[in-house]
Structure 1
Amino acid sequence: MKIAVKTFQELNTQELYDLLQLRSEVFVVEQDCVYQDIDGKDLKALHIIGVKDDKIVAYTRCFAPGIYFEEAAIGRVVVPLEERKYGYGHDIMKASIKAISGHYDTQDIKLSGQEHLKKFYESHGFKQIGEGYLEDGIPHIAMVTA
């Protein structure tokens, strides 16, 4: 898998289409969750894109401190169902943490993760803060770098 880090302005139309299609495939269709994925925040995000054989197999979007949370943020962490057995989620998280450090000069990161992925995020140095909550009908937890 090759990883690219791009601002919204650096994305070409095919990349934008592919990443929006992947997010819809997983977050809307697979998880049966109707929500507004295209939320205007992509314009301010760094897009971390993992590609294998011309297909996006892992993706996140990252934000500078103060845009999404007080801390830098990672969101929309996604790997298509058929690619989850290869560890691409771990690769894209490492690349996202590195991108935040390099672009925003901070190690303080917050995310709103689906509760069932708690151990996954903990393996990347995150710890839960506060109680769980529902976001778009799915149990989530807030997590920050330890």
Structure 2
Amino acid sequence: MIVEKRFADLTPAELYGLLKLRVDVFVVEQTCPYPELDGRDAEPGTLHVWVPGDGGEVLSCIRVLENGEDRAIGRVATAASARGRGLSAQLVARGLEVCAGRTVDIGAQAHLETWYARFGFGRSGPDYVEDGIPHLPMRTVAPLPR
């Protein structure tokens, strides 16, 4: 089951679960002290998409952002205990469906370039380092049909 909600519709428990997973993966596991709460989660156009576990915990999540006419998918995270099940792939595919007809950007960790390429993303600029991790900008090669 995939759940999709805007910030205003999230329950406190759902918001906590999303933020806990992201902090567990990006801050703790990847040892990157950075401002996880960047203000974009609460934007009216941001869509939070996730897969809940049997106990209601968040197993995998993404967020879809509005960037003018374009969209961005970010904060792709999966709990260590839920990896290998294809949950992130399901969520990225769903995010692209939600963005149909729009150009979609993603800031990918460099080692995931070929993984994102299978969804139609291609390199859109030079590599960069973010929080000590090599990244690259990627964009859907052509806008998906509406």
TM-score, normalised with respect to structure 1: 0.90
Deviating above 2 A after TM superposition, structure 1's stretches of 4 or more consecutive aligned residues are none
Match of 1:56 in 2: 58
Residues 68-113 of structure 1: CA distance to partner in whole angstroms, max 9, x if unpaired? xx62100100111121111111101111111223xxxx33100111
Q: Aligned pair 1:99/2:101, yes or no?
A: no
Q: How far off is 1:136 after superposition?
A: 1.6
Return the alpha-carbon distance in structure 2 between the equivalents of residues 120 and 11 of structure 1: 29
Quote how far apart the aligned CAs of 1:34 are: 0.5
In the other structure, the counterpart of 2:117 is: 122
Offset of residue 42 of structure 1: 0.3
How large is the RMSD of aligned CA atoms in angstroms?
Answer: 1.2
Determine the C-alpha separation between the residues in 1 that align with 2:78 and 2:136: 19
Structure 2: gaps of 5 or more residues: 142-146
Residue type of the partner of 2:136?
I
Q: Which structure shows the higher helix fraction?
A: 1
Question: Percent sequence identity over matched residues?
Answer: 37
Partner SS state of residue 38, structure 2: coil
State the match for 2:130 in structure 1.
Answer: 135
1:55 deviation in Å? 2.1
Unaligned runs of 5+ in 1: none
